[in-house]
Structures are given as C-alpha cells and as structure tokens.
Structure 1
Amino acid sequence: MPSWTLRKRLVVAVVALLALAAIVIGAASVLSVRAVLLERVDGQLAAATTRSSGAADLPRTGQLPSPSRPEAPDFIGAPGQAAGTLGAIIDGGVVRYAGYTDAAGTLLPLTTEQFSELLPLTIGADPVSLDLPGLGNYRVVAVDTGGGALVVGLPLADLEFSVAQLIAVVTGISLGALALAGAAAYVIVRLALRPLDRVALAASEVSELPLDRGEVALAVRVPEQDADPDTEVGRVGAAINRMIGHVANALTARQASENKVRTFVSDASHELRTPLASIRGYAELTRRSGERLPEDATYALGRIESEAIRMTTIVEDLLLLARLDEGRELGRESVDLAMLLGNAVRDARTSSPEHRWDLELPEASVVIAGDTQRLFQVVANLLGNARVHTPPGTRVTTRLETTETDAVITVLDNGPGIDPSVLDSVFERFVRGDESRQRASGGTGLGLAIVAGVVDAHGGSVSVESGPGRTAFRVILPRSTFD
C-alpha cells in the first residue's frame, strides 16, 4: 500500500472525525425522535383501548368475522378508531374474534399466522411492537375486559415512514456537510502546510547541489517567516537553516583545505621539475662521460635516470591535474579522432606486442574541437591501463562510433576484469586495482583520474563496465564543441 502524504492523512482524519460525529448525532436524533413518536403512538393506543373496552359486548360464539359474517364487531370499529386499528378477543387461549380495519373502514379478518402472534401477549403489560406477517409492524397491548383479554393494536407505518424520512434527511445533510468539510479541510490543511512545503523545497534544493567537489555556495535558506521557533514548522525550518549553515562552513573549510593542497601540488610540481631535470641530466652526463665506471655504479646511474624519468612523469601528471582543478582552458583545435586512435593503437602494439590490438573505425572521418595532446593522452592511458592489468594474449579493441551529437570511443578487452570493490572509484586519484606498490602492477593510480579530468574539461563523460572476461571503458565527447 503506497504511503499517504501528511496532507492526505490530516484531511482523512478530519473527515473521519466529522463522519463519526455526524453518525453519533444522527443516530441520537433518530432514536430520540422515534422514542417521541412511539410515545405518542402509545398514547393513541391507550385512547383506542379505552374506546374498544367500552364497546366490547360480544357473543361467545367462537367464530371469527368472515365474508359470510362481514359486520365489524363494535370493539374494532368503535367511533373514533383510526384506520388500520387491530382488535381481538382472547378467552382461555382461544381467539374469539380478531380483525382489523383497512383505510376505508372495512373489517378484514386476521389470518391464523397473524393472530398466532397475539397469543403470547401478557395482559396488563406495557405496549409492545409486533411484526404481523403481511400487515407490518403494530403497536399492541392486551387488557382484561372481564370476558377475556382484549387486544388492541395500531399500525406503526406512519411512524416508520417518518423515521425513514428523518434518516434520509439526516444522511443527506451529513453527506453534504462532510463533502463541504472535506473540501474546507483540504484547503485549510494545504494552507497550513505551505510553510512545511517551503521548508521541504529548501532542503530539496540543497540535496540537489553537487556538494562532493568544488566550491559550493549554499545561498539556499528556509524563508524567515518559516523559521519562527515559536511554531512547530518554524522549529524545523530554523533547525534546517542551522544545519545548512554548518554544512556551508564545513564545505568552505574543505574547499580551503583542497585549495591549499592543490596549490601545494602545483607549486611542488613546478619546483620538482628543475631538480628532476638536473638529476636526469647529470646521470646521463656521467653515463656518457667515457670514463670506465664499475658495473654497480653504471647500474646505479641507470636506475637513477629511469626513476628520474618516472618521477618526472608523475610530476607532470600531478601538474596537469592541478591545472584541470583550477579550470584552465585546454587547447582548442580540430582533432581527427580516427587518426588519433590509429597513432595510439600503433604505439600500444610497439610497446606490448604480446597483446592483440584491434582498431575499428567508421568509414567517414570524425573531427571534433579539442586538445590533441590531451585527448591522445586519454586514449594512451586507457590502452596502457588495459596493457598493465591484462595478461599477454588479451585482445584489446579500440572502437570509434558516432551519434548525431557525440563521438564515442570504446576501449574493450577480454581480460579478467576489474575488482568490484574498486570499480566505482577507478576514476579517483591514486586508486589502483592492485594495492601493492610493486612497479609491475601498474603506476600511481593517476592515469584514469587524468582521463576523467580531461574528458570532463572537453564537456564529455567517461564510464566503465567490467566483469570476468569483459571490461569496457566508454568515452563520450560532444561533436558540437567545434561549432
């Protein structure tokens, strides 16, 4: 069952309470009116009994009125008796006479089934209501006339009709009142909950902001009139405003810390380039000096030079990431993606001939606007990632496709796949599938971070799908960037 909104619950609760009140009031009104009408019928029955008692001079023939004896006994048709009056003489448990008059005053006999309902009556007891088959409900009473028990009854049809009309009127008025009350409750509740809607809107706006990175200006606040601590909704609004303020302070502190780190990385990268170049240069100069060096010294100089080259690459990567974080514009030129992919795949074949490198290109050339060097670095990093993390003999397919608006580059391999524990964070910095620091297991974890940063700077997106036997990196670059 779907959950109900607070507005719906309040409206239903109000209507339900009003309906309960209407039912109680209506039932009490109907019962009260019925009691009053029944008391009036009992008074009429007492008067009819008095008239019938004065006229009850009957022969004890033991015969009932019938078509062959149609005259109405005096105790049934006595002057002043209302139409439908019922009368009977019961003597010793035997019905001597029993009949009733219709609307025209004609005497009609009671059937055996009908007068059998009269036999259990107690003489002198209070009037009771009986359901006589074929005649409906009657109010009857039994009195002692000295010559037997006189039973007199009056129909309750008029009373029942009045009560039915009252029930219909009360029901109609109650339903109309409930409909109006429901509409009024909906309007009132909606107006009353508008401050809560504004509070929820402010919270929703904050929740949709990209709070995970970059500078975030939290200018959203709950309006002042909805943050009054003297009201229930106001206390919620004030609490949300305080929470937003704390979040804004935390984000400001985080951004300041990130800016310091980026500044440090950028400055350190700049400063490290010169000494690294010097180390590399002096190592190469010493190695080429012509002097005969011990074997271990030659090996050490080679390691110094190779590690200086590796560290220079790391510094360049960090410097590139720092520039991307600062939002610096990349180069903007015409880039033929088919040619770029061809060059990248040829380089991959040369550096790792033990892998199988395939290239799938469309017939028409695909040209976009972008930074050729950085886009080449994106493809080279993806191919290098496939080379490092897949065994020899793995097939790596580089595919270029186009849509009406985008160019799509896919690098697909049939290797073992990416560990699910790091799949969601492969584009973050320093994230590596192998947590060891062995050189053979890969680089520093900056390659895919550079891919994500460069693609984002070009207005595109990058994603990955991976499982045993299939890993696919998908880069989408908008073609309209050259317009």
Structure 2
Amino acid sequence: MRRLTIRAWLLVISVLFSVLAVGGISLVSYAIVYEGMVTVAKEHSKQVVGDISDVVRMHVDSVRQESPDLVGTESWRALVLRLSAFVAGWGAPESHVALYDSKGGLLWVNTPDPTVIQDPARLEEALDSDQILRSTVGETAPFRGMFFPAALPIYVTHVPLELPDGSRGVLIITHRSINEEQVIDAVRSPMFAHAAVAALAMIIVVQMTLGRILKLVDNLRLAAESIDAGRLDVRLPEEGEHEISRLAKVLNALIDRLQRKAEAQTRFIADASHELATPVAGIRGYTNILKKWGTADPEVQAEAIAAIDRESNRMARLCKDLLALVRDEKTMEIQSVRFDVNAVCRETLAAAATRYMSKGLEFIGPEEGQLIMIGDSDKVGDMISILVDNAAKYTEKGSVSVQTRRKRDTIVIEVADTGIGIHPEEAESIFERFYRSDVSRSKRTGGFGLGLPIAKTIVDGIKGTIEVSSTVGEGSIFTVRLPRGRM
C-alpha cells in the first residue's frame, strides 16, 4: 500500500485542524447563544408570571369589593368573566393560564383546549403552601437544537391565591419560550453556514501556504538531486527573509564551495602535470644535450648527468610536496646544512634558461660571491625554482632576475620579472591551494595553482615569510625572507 505523501498528510491535518478550530469556535458560540436564550426565557417566564398573578389578584379584589354579596359559583363566574376579558385583550399565545379551586377542580382556562401540564401532586402541594412553586418540563438540550428545531423547557408556575369567596385556589401558569426558540433557530443556520465558509477558507489558505513551502522544499530536493547527479549549476531561490530562504542561502553557499572544490580537483590534474613537466622538460633537455655533445665532450656529459640527477631529485621532492599539499600537511622534514644561496640561485637560473630558451628571456642572477646560510638547500632550491619558473611562464619578453642580500640574521631573496603582473585583489590569494588567478591565462600557460602554494609551504616550513608586490602590465616581485641560521 502506497504511503501518503507529505502534501496529502498536510491536507488531512489542515482539514482536521480547520474543522476542529472553526467547529469548536462555532460550537462555543452556539452554546453561548443557546444558554443566553435559556436565561432570557427564565427571566421572561418570571416576568409573565408576575404580571398575570398581579392582574388575577387585582380582579379577585375587584370582584370582592364590587359585589360583596356574591358567593360560591356566582363569585367565581364574575371572576372568570373578568379574566376572560383580560386574556382576550392581552394576546400572549406562549402562556397558558388555568385557575383551580381548593378541591383541585378546574374553574377557568384561557383556551378551549389548553396544553396545561396536569400534576396533581404539585397542585396539592401548592394548595397547602403559601409559596410560589416553579418547575420545568423537558430538558435543556443545546446539541439537539443544532440539527433540529430548538425546544426549550416549559416553565410551569403554581401561584396560591385567595378566591373571591374566601376559599383557596391555585393559578397555574404555563409558559413556552416561543420567541427564544425562534431566535435560536434563526441564528443556527447562518452561524454554521459561516463556519463552513470559514473552515473552507482556512483550508484554502493553509494549502496555499503549505504549497509555497513545499515548493521551496521541492527546490531543495532538486538541488540535492543535481548534486547527486554531479551537476553543480543549480541554485535555489533566495527570495524573502524566512527560514527556508536562509536555508537556501546556506545550501547555495555549500554548492558554491562544492563547485569550487570540484573545479579545483579538475584543475589539480592539469596543474600537477604541469608542475611535474618542468623537471621532466629539464631532464629531456639535458638528455638531448647528451645525445648531441655528451660523447664528444666529457665536461658537457658530466654537467648534463648532474643536471638530470638534480632534476630527477627535484621531481621526486615535488611529488612529495604535492602529496603533502593535497593532504594539507602542516609540517615537513627540513634538513639543516651549510650552503651557498647564490650558488643555488645560479643553478636554478641556468636550468630555467635551458627550459625557456625559446622565449628569449634574459635570466639575471645574484652578484658574484657567496651568501652562506644554514638550512635545507634542496627545499630552498625548490622554492626558488618554483618562483623563477612562475616568473618565466608569465613573462613574454624581458627578464627574470634573482637578487639576494643579507639583512642582519635574515636572508632576503627577490625574484622579479617583467611579465603581465597580478591584480591587487588577487595578490592575497595566489598562495592558496589550487587557486587560479586567471583561468584564461592559465589555459595559455598550461596550468597554475600548485607551484606558489608549494613555495609558501616550503617557506612556512623554514619559518620564513613570502610576499608579492605587482603592477599589472609591468611585472611582479616576490620577496622571500628566511632565517640565516646559526653558523
């Protein structure tokens, strides 16, 4: 059996809630109206009883005073004539009046066929008492009046009084709340009709609101499905300042990060290949030199073999640095040896001149002489090689220079070029992992994004600093400051 969807469940819940809420309010309102009419009927009954009792007593006194010589049946007949005349002019169809003598015999009734409640025990109790006795016939049934014509209780009042001949009698007044029942019947239908309309309107409003919310949820589902399918170009609408829009903003930011990471992973293959291609190109260059002149010139052969060994070692270190970069490792193994920074710079520039011979660039090294420091010569050489290689890649004509100097206990290395430069807003990001400052420029140069982060990792490992200053169209200067170390 298929389970109900969220929309179906919400429809059921909204219908139940609307029916319960509006129905409850309607029931309470109806109950208030009903109870109000019951109270009005009670008060009206008391008022009618009081009026009729006063009139009857007044006529009894009038008969006694006007005809004191009338006794027995004659006095009663005179009273009946007065009462009949009174009732005929009064016009109260909801009230029925009957007069009984001391023996329980009916003396007079206001209608030929009255619907008068006969209660001998109550009548006898009234004859023996001087108090007015009130009772009701029927029950208060408000819920019955919701579906059928209202039927309020019948109010029966026994009023003891003295007849014109001096004997005791009982006036029984039966009051039906016809007007109040008509009010209840008149109110019931419009009230429940309005309740039905209100419930329907509430259901529609709730469904429209839930439909909008579910549409936003569907958008979230589509975004999740697109991510699962590998499509990261779908974005969620962010209109409004509600919880769903804030969730959409968070998810859009997440999708943006995923897209950037996916693009970074895609670029990583090309960039890693390019970074590894640099030492491979050097090895191939020196291999060609060996093929052409190595057998004839032992000095060239020795230099080429040393360069091939150096480049292969550099490629191995580069692979290790790439792995550390991908793993985001914060530490690396740093050797501590005494070496000449200027010699490392000259070797790096010579290798770069061989790789970029076709560009016709001028590679300028530090002045003659030594600049000794204690540190990891291989790591420093790799860092300088990355900076020189980066400078040569983005310099179409002009020069690439490496200058060094000592400033107290710090070795300063500056790698300058006359290339295309870096935009100021991108200068702070070029050392981030997998950052590509200009995609079109990277396509032209074959890759960019790993070398500078590796150089930054090396500098950080040596406890140094690296920064860049650049002017677009004129070139860039990378300044590295390294601790000289204890001699």
Q: TM-score, normalised by structure 1?
A: 0.39
Identify which of structures 1 and 2 has the higher relative contact order when contacts are C-alpha pairs closer than 8 Å and 6+ apart.
2
Greater Rg over alpha carbons, structure: 2
